[in-house]
Amino acid sequence: MQQGTPRIQKAGRRELTLGDQQLPAAALVALTEMFPNLPRPHIVLPNFDASGFELHIHSSLEDWERWREALQVPSSTVQRNDSPPRLIAQTTFRGASVRLVGYESDPAQATDARTPKAMAA
């Protein structure tokens, strides 16, 4: 494939280029500068949407909660998904949409004292 030639996806949409993802990339750089001590997330830049990114927190729901508070996501907007057990929140940071996903490594986390503040509200 020649440089600068857009690739076409099966559905007929143009596949995004690296340059198309400048907005979420700039937001990610800002996150590293503002919150260097937060736990490292798994970062997903979708290849079909240049408006944002996803942060997946697998370490613990407490780590997810730290991210939720740093991004100032209201606890009232948090959604719970039971299969697989996880918490999901959406926000905007520096113009980019952010989907924050936290996974329960231990199903007992959902009911014990370590339950994130987001679900206790």
Q: Determine the Cα–Cα distance for residues 52 and 54; give it in Å rounded to an integer.
A: 7
Per residue in 7-51, pLDDT tens?
544 556 677 788 889 999 999 999 999 999 999 999 998 877 889
pLDDT band at 114 (very low <50, low <70, confident <90, very high): very low
The domain segmentation of the chain, as residue ranges, is 19-120
Statement: residue 116 has pLDDT above 80: no
Q: What is the pLDDT of residue 73?
A: 97
Closest Cα partner for 65 from 52, 81, 78, 84?
78
Per residue in 61-99, pLDDT tens?
999 999 999 999 999 999 998 888 899 999 999 999 999
Name beta bridge partners: 100: 55, 89
Please determine, looking at this structure, whether the domain spanning 19-120 carries the CATH number 3.30.460: yes
Q: Determine the Cα–Cα distance for residues 52 and 27; give it in Å rounded to an integer.
A: 9
Give percent of the chain with pLDDT exceeding 90: 59
Strand-strand pairing, 42-44 and 96-103 = unpaired
